[in-house]
Amino acid sequence: MAAVRPVPVYRRLVNGWGLFALVTGITSLTVLAAALTLDLRQAPAVSAMIQLSVQLAVPWLYLAFVASSLLILMPGRFSRWLMKNRRIVGLCFAAGMAWQLFFILWLVLGHWDYYVEEAYSLYDLAEQLPGYLILAAMTVTSFRPGRRLLSGSQWRILHKGGIYFLWGVVWSTYWFELYYYDDIQVIDYVYYWSGCFVWLARVAAWVQRRSAIRSRSLEPIA
């Protein structure tokens, strides 16, 4: 009987729950290290932590959003790895956004006047509240017990519609940063144009998939 070869450690770290532990561990250490350099008794410092936690989470949303499209447009080792780990990548985004929610609650509970005068806007609330509810629903139904609560079609509607909504919330946030604020950072441009790229990749993949279906339908029957 042939011996079972052990899975190399590096493969366990970049796949499945090993990947989740690695990403969330690095994210959490980065957040905690940044928090130690700031005086969180001051409202602007808490606001800066909100911004940092989002910046750490956004790449994982974009990767989950573009995973299936990359597999169609550029099939290869990376796109196959990304598609295989798409659920974990999405959960990495959810974990990063949990840090944002933590600091938002810190700001609201500890610095209410600052939140109302400097941070609050009805537009942000209208986006963020549904976004958190959708993200929570997608997270719960990413696991088997939660998935059993929905039919197959309901699950697909939630996850496909949800990821489009979350992409729209994130991308529009950076669009507002570029066009309505003065303190623009390089990362705002990076995330704005990255958001455009992953959207265009999904459009291109849809066009390619439709073209392939059309070509097959036009093939003569032997």
User: Phi and psi at residue 143, in whole multiples of 5°?
Assistant: -110, 155
- Helix, strand, coil percent content, the chain, rounded in steps of 5: 80, 0, 20
Question: Can you give the pLDDT at residue 1?
Answer: 46
Among 198, 194, 130, smallest CA distance to 162 is for 130
Instruction: Determine the Cα–Cα distance for residues 93 and 71; give it in Å rounded to an integer.
Output: 20
Extents of the domains making up the chain: 9-210
Q: Could you report the per-residue pLDDT of 64-123, keeping only the tens digit for each? A: 999 999 999 999 999 999 999 999 999 999 999 999 999 988 988 888 887 777 766 656
Instruction: Determine the Cα–Cα distance for residues 180 and 182; give it in Å rounded to an integer.
Output: 7
Nearest-Å Rg of the Cα atoms of the chain is: 20
Statement: the pTM of the whole predicted model exceeds 0.85: yes
Among 169, 182, 174, smallest CA distance to 131 is for 169
